[in-house]
Structure 1
């Protein structure tokens, strides 16, 4: 912006206007944060996984790793014993039953050094891009596989002899079948030895859907309107709609991608949208119009949104096709994300084939203003309907192939590839939303429950190497468990399922992981088994078993719909413990809940523990129940229940006895012993006195006083540091020595004391008290004359530096602040509070607490002086401190 637009000194009105604008912007930002910017979601969709299993707790896990990286392509066939995996520079054949077995086969296929050098000269990354990344690996015929690789930005393809697992021919040109880069959106299908691919195939080309072999080769049209607008493909699928077709319809191939938006909407607008496109498998192109182009290409929008909340997940990341008993039963499961790259969120929506077909039978969109604006077409539609496949009705009219279609129909298809109606989710809303998760790939299977119903079970990989197993129930997903596949976060690049091998295979940049489809042994009780709502698992009366392995299901207990009934008459084990403590102790009763969906519920002698505030004497947290300053009337039987699906299940029982008996005084053998059992600790006399100061009535006042004191301490320390850093002469800055300072000021009343007792006199005492130690624990060591002794505290001692000879007088000491006149051990604060500095900060709701105390000498009680007097004494000692001209390292 030019300087002449604004004077050097803005008028007051302009400054005020800018100030108001800045304040308005800040207020808007704060309001957005308060309202959960960028979005808030209904609680029933933001699902929490019920069970979390870390990598160390995985059972039945098998892994495959090699010197290769970027395992991204997998092929698994139902009747095959091999799992084929494509990586960077290699292809592997793994034993599908156990991928970790030593029988793995491999084919190395790397780019040459010269090709890598040429790739670098093109400006590509020599650490990630200039390699041969396998992007296509599928079956070509009964004896051979077909694979394509980026080959350092010079794509090649080759055939693999399946029996010998070797390349059966020299690589062939692959630039029309495979993308150049490893991260370019891409999908491919080989059907009846015909290769269908969709991607960006070179540096400057537009995205394209092609059939490369055999002849005739077809592709999408670029003019007069682009059929694909910066499309990023994620998947494709064949749906054999000709099966049991009454009108002799053709099979269709569906492509799924995200592209730049073309529609104009009055309700909402996005720069990119999710799409599904369709072509007919028997398409042969047009005779004159659309020659060597698709005559059946149509596309429409997939919506995964909640209009009532104004949430639109418009970025399609992955798709999985769930084939039904008939083609009309086909479902498409999609993983969607937000357009904001800095926001981590995912949604799962499913679409029915019938609604996709209905959208393709609806009105068309028409391009206006050279393709920049698209609106619904309201003119006449020619016959036969543009974009339809050859049917029995058309064959009866003599149109047996697409080359027989009239030019009027083909020209309409050329100008109207986009449909007006959008495809809504089958459930009219997302099945699942995860605010903190980016799902990358998914796979699904159908499992028959004990109730004879069919349930869809989904396995979804994340960008951090987790696998979520979920089941679709009544239009929502219930996440059964989340499994950590890798100790270090890395994205899941592919997911495959095998019901024959009862395994799920997950690939990542570092390797491949094989896991069982279910692990019912993880659930040790009937309630735990049915709470999981896992269609694979049911309670047999003695254990949680896999339903697929049971021949008789009549006696099995399972409740997928509600996850709560069937275990009323079954028994289970409850952990029982005893605890004996002293009056005034803090007692922590631990209760570990295995389910993330369960909440703790505590009872005392059969009745609910009443109140969890400071005055009640109880606090509850995720780690258990804390009894504060235990009283005798709090003795009894404490039981922790896990409440899940409105069912209370006892987890642990504590028989707590609280007595007045005092513990024996600590001996030399027990001085250094720190109790490790919560609730059995015995504070010392100082600790007991400190605990009395923190009665529930004074806790709130104590905390406010502490905040005020710490704020004042920060101000004073800031002033002192500013003085030392900026007010003193540069030649006098450095480290100091208490011993040298004392020698230089013998007239000081405290100099001799500093000279003799500076290691055990003035110090700040810091002590961390765990949940197993109330008050002051015995056995904390103390530095004395360079040695560690018992009974004291860890001191911070300034460094000992050699005093250099100098004739310069010592610098003047900074002035002391005025000393407030106090005659009582309590300090008054500006807000009217009157309290001493508390010596114990309690641990509340699972947080650690720290013991702080300040002392001036060994014979001075930490409660005999207020905080201001302690600070004055510290500044008084600094008055007699001599700064050395040369700095030296201090010691702690």
Structure 2
């Protein structure tokens, strides 16, 4: 009864697997964007590289006006020429943790390959003459001032509250108006914190009665001057973005992490009695990036980029999200508005009751807890956070979480990638020829690639994917230089300086327009950067549609023309390489589109071209391949195919239809034409002919159909065998272990163990036996008995038993046929020929039952062994019994 349930369970499991495999990737998930072109590292244009003596290039500081790029790596800081990072003018500043500090790091149980080094995590401008930097310093953080002119260290100081101990912990920080703010997990207890490090008074988050931050992993921060032109006398604000442990109820119980944005006021100086040296304006809210129709939540925030608008209320920011399951790769990009963030912070609070968070419905004190000091506060003689009443501060301490969840613009992601993980992102705004301002996103992946994408009417178009590093490694950081029109990309092994756009890669008008790159346009001869043209009236660009402007298709030059002469019955491949991943191939024959690409029509198409199956005379003609993209047909290849009839065989020679002289293949060049035909088609193409038909073509069609049917049947058999093997392997757990007997005990065991349960195994029998078993031996299983094949080439060992072989499925019984040696084919165990000179016995396991043929089989086997003993002159070797 228990065994009968196994097939049912397997059927149910197979159904669940099919459902899970398809979820959440339905056919209408149009956010999964395919990059238009793929550029490998060998095809990069205008790139500069830097690879120093160290690794882990993580922090970058670009001073575009001065033309310098500062880079922090493991135990080194570099000062580079932003024009070309490959120049020899690069200066390096070594910052190595001492041997004693590394020894102490090892004594704390840290990794001497990764953690016990000085990883530079912070690098920013302190004042006109100095930079400020912080490093992990082998699990004892240190900070330092750098003299910019001399590029030397000026002074060192303690950094344990400014930099994390662990180089893998998320970290963000900046210096604004001489004040340093940072956020990370600082101490060994990994308590997350948002701090103002200097000047005095230092501020931090509160950890009681309920922690404001729970295992937060910070990815970015931003500073917005909301006091400028504020009608209420508002304060500037600082925003921090992170992922933390989830405490609030959600529709998905499996989610243990949640994305957040937190806010504090720049003028906050803490409370007088309550929340001393703690933030009085700390609030946090949830960021949602989901696909509602598929109930898919991407809840791990990986990167953020804020774009401040002309009015601070028009500020937007983009976030890269992923799944918390490390073995599943998926990424999404969501866009948010700062207005929605402010709405959430002005909304209801959440409260913790009975270990559960729910919306707070009680009375809120006045002035509103968590708000910055405004004209309303000043009217109440509250000029700073120290003047706030204790009831307001106590409320802010207990209710830091907001109830409103911040939804993305449009309610869904702009971009989805199902097969990779995005790591970092930066955004560049470009004005196109149509006057629209386009957001260009540069997104790094976890395997060293860069995606260049543009947002068009609420959707993302990935212009190209670029391979930047040969070794797979995550992108650590991205910085854009508008002055140099470059993007600097850092990874573990080094840096790459890449142009914001490589317009010269597009060699035709349609290729340039199809790219939909706001930085590029067609000038009539070349694809050029629009920034280099002061007069742009004659440039062609179509970012919105990607199809307009190139009216004369013959202006794109010439398409290579080929002539193919083949024998009837041959298969012919007409190659057509298409560089765009978004284009689809279309073929015409004598100016008419080939509608069907199936066996019935004698054609097959693929990414590499058109296959003519069993070419017939009727299939001669002018073939043209087009790349169809954005509903525009662009010619790629042109072929004239001539099918020669097969000559009847003569008495002297046997013609070989596949052996053609080289003179049959010619190559010419003809201008590009539209699908309607033209001069080249009139000269080189035969008159239009109907699609091939007739008995000869039907023969090839039936053969092809037969091959397809055979493949389908074999695929079904493979599926059935897979299910059977899974079931058998599950049942094998209940099979008792086979007892092994030594070679000397074998004959005695067979004679004495007949009447009771026995387990025996015979390795091999010598070839001196007078007869051979012909035909195919089979392993049989009846009434729970399993026969196992023991490999003949395995040497027996007195110390180790060979592992039992897996049970085999029960085949149909063999016919009762007598072989030359007198053994019946219906015996419960059989001898199998091995290597032409010995035989192998299939192991038998009885379970209290004795076969009626058991005695005859034992006697016959004893006769064989006895005869072998008398006829052998030497002692049996290790492969005998």
Q: TM-score range by the shorter chain?
A: 0.7 to 0.9
The question of whether the paired residues in 2 share the 8 Å contact of 1:32 and 1:38 is answered with: no
The answer for the alignment partner of 2:706 in structure 1 is 701
Deviations 1:500-536 (A, max 9, x none): 1100010000000000000111111111111111100
Distance in 1 between the 2:459 and 2:86 partners? 36
Q: 1:59 aligns with which of 36, 45, 50?
A: 45
TM-score scaled to structure 1, two decimals?
A: 0.75
Superposition pairs of residues 83-102 of structure 1, within 5 angstroms: 83-102=69-88
The question of whether the paired residues in 1 share the 8 Å contact of 2:566 and 2:660 is answered with: no
Cα distance change on mapping 1:701 and 1:41 into 2, 3 Å: closer
Cα distance change on mapping 1:68 and 1:655 into 2, 3 Å: same
Give the unaligned 5+ runs of structure 2. 651-655, 667-695, 726-737, 744-765, 778-832, 840-875
CA apart distance, 1:359: 0.8
CA apart distance, 1:814: 2.4
In the alignment, structure 1 residue 22 sits paired with structure 2 residue 6 = no
The question of whether the paired residues in 2 share the 8 Å contact of 1:158 and 1:167 is answered with: yes
In the alignment, structure 1 residue 264 sits paired with structure 2 residue 263 = no
Distance in 1 between the 2:708 and 2:65 partners? 69
Q: 2:546 aligns with which of 549, 563, 566?
A: 563
Cα distance change on mapping 1:617 and 1:808 into 2, 3 Å: closer
The question of whether the paired residues in 1 share the 8 Å contact of 2:767 and 2:838 is answered with: no
The answer for the alignment partner of 1:852 in structure 2 is none
Distance in 2 between the 1:572 and 1:132 partners? 56
In the alignment, structure 1 residue 405 sits paired with structure 2 residue 388 = yes
SS in 1 for 2:411: coil
Shifted more, 22-31 versus 648-657: the winner is 22-31
The answer for the alignment partner of 2:572 in structure 1 is 587
Superposition pairs of residues 707-856 of structure 1, within 5 angstroms: 809=768, 812-816=771-775
The question of whether the paired residues in 2 share the 8 Å contact of 1:157 and 1:172 is answered with: yes
The answer for the alignment partner of 1:73 in structure 2 is 59
CA apart distance, 1:262: 2.1
Cα distance change on mapping 1:321 and 1:708 into 2, 3 Å: closer
Give the unaligned 5+ runs of structure 1. 1-11, 666-670, 682-690, 719-725, 732-806, 819-877
The question of whether the paired residues in 2 share the 8 Å contact of 1:591 and 1:623 is answered with: yes
Cα distance change on mapping 1:564 and 1:704 into 2, 3 Å: closer
Deviations 1:387-407 (A, max 9, x none): 111112322332211111111
The answer for the alignment partner of 2:186 in structure 1 is 201
Q: 1:365 aligns with which of 341, 345, 350?
A: 350
Cα distance change on mapping 1:263 and 1:679 into 2, 3 Å: farther
The question of whether the paired residues in 2 share the 8 Å contact of 1:335 and 1:441 is answered with: yes
Cα distance change on mapping 1:656 and 1:303 into 2, 3 Å: same
The question of whether the paired residues in 2 share the 8 Å contact of 1:588 and 1:679 is answered with: no
The answer for the alignment partner of 1:424 in structure 2 is 407
The answer for the alignment partner of 1:184 in structure 2 is 169
Distance in 1 between the 2:98 and 2:834 partners? 75
The question of whether the paired residues in 2 share the 8 Å contact of 1:582 and 1:662 is answered with: no
Distance in 2 between the 1:594 and 1:220 partners? 54
SS in 2 for 1:575: strand
The answer for the alignment partner of 2:147 in structure 1 is 161
CA apart distance, 1:133: 0.5
The question of whether the paired residues in 2 share the 8 Å contact of 1:390 and 1:401 is answered with: yes
SS in 2 for 1:615: helix
Distance in 2 between the 1:350 and 1:311 partners? 17
In the alignment, structure 1 residue 246 sits paired with structure 2 residue 231 = yes
Cα distance change on mapping 1:279 and 1:569 into 2, 3 Å: same
Cα distance change on mapping 1:77 and 1:620 into 2, 3 Å: same
CA apart distance, 1:180: 0.4
Q: 2:502 aligns with which of 519, 527, 530?
A: 519
The question of whether the paired residues in 2 share the 8 Å contact of 1:180 and 1:202 is answered with: yes
Deviations 1:166-198 (A, max 9, x none): 1112x2111100000110011111112211111
CA apart distance, 1:40: 4.2
Superposition pairs of residues 313-712 of structure 1, within 5 angstroms: 313-369=298-354, 372-569=355-552, 571-573=555-557, 574-660=559-645, 695-702=700-707, 704=709
In the alignment, structure 1 residue 237 sits paired with structure 2 residue 196 = no
Deviations 1:60-117 (A, max 9, x none): 0110001100001111023121111010010001110100110000011111222212
In the alignment, structure 1 residue 123 sits paired with structure 2 residue 109 = yes
Distance in 1 between the 2:113 and 2:663 partners? 53
Deviations 1:834-875 (A, max 9, x none): xxxxxxxxxxxxxxxxxxxxxxxxxxxxxxxxxxxxxxxxxx
Cα distance change on mapping 1:245 and 1:439 into 2, 3 Å: same
The question of whether the paired residues in 2 share the 8 Å contact of 1:587 and 1:678 is answered with: no
Cα distance change on mapping 1:660 and 1:421 into 2, 3 Å: same
Distance in 2 between the 1:879 and 1:387 partners? 84
Q: 1:283 aligns with which of 240, 250, 268?
A: 268
CA apart distance, 1:16: 6.5
CA apart distance, 1:269: 6.7
CA apart distance, 1:701: 2.9
Cα distance change on mapping 1:254 and 1:811 into 2, 3 Å: farther
Cα distance change on mapping 1:391 and 1:611 into 2, 3 Å: same
The question of whether the paired residues in 2 share the 8 Å contact of 1:598 and 1:644 is answered with: yes
SS in 2 for 1:696: helix
Shifted more, 269-278 versus 586-595: the winner is 269-278
The question of whether the paired residues in 2 share the 8 Å contact of 1:813 and 1:880 is answered with: no
Distance in 2 between the 1:676 and 1:464 partners? 48
Distance in 2 between the 1:292 and 1:705 partners? 77
SS in 2 for 1:238: strand
Cα distance change on mapping 1:162 and 1:614 into 2, 3 Å: same
CA apart distance, 1:135: 0.5
SS in 2 for 1:116: helix
Cα distance change on mapping 1:808 and 1:606 into 2, 3 Å: closer
Cα distance change on mapping 1:236 and 1:664 into 2, 3 Å: farther
In the alignment, structure 1 residue 143 sits paired with structure 2 residue 102 = no
Distance in 2 between the 1:344 and 1:607 partners? 44
Cα distance change on mapping 1:323 and 1:664 into 2, 3 Å: farther
Shifted more, 515-524 versus 574-583: the winner is 574-583
Cα distance change on mapping 1:677 and 1:394 into 2, 3 Å: farther
The question of whether the paired residues in 1 share the 8 Å contact of 2:563 and 2:665 is answered with: no
The answer for the alignment partner of 2:200 in structure 1 is 215
Cα distance change on mapping 1:203 and 1:273 into 2, 3 Å: same
Cα distance change on mapping 1:325 and 1:41 into 2, 3 Å: farther
SS in 2 for 1:410: helix
The question of whether the paired residues in 2 share the 8 Å contact of 1:586 and 1:679 is answered with: no
The answer for the alignment partner of 1:32 in structure 2 is 19
The question of whether the paired residues in 1 share the 8 Å contact of 2:24 and 2:294 is answered with: no
CA apart distance, 1:700: 3.0
CA apart distance, 1:20: 7.7
Shifted more, 478-487 versus 238-247: the winner is 238-247
CA apart distance, 1:30: 2.8
Distance in 2 between the 1:640 and 1:234 partners? 48
Distance in 1 between the 2:660 and 2:427 partners? 51
SS in 1 for 2:701: coil
CA apart distance, 1:29: 2.7
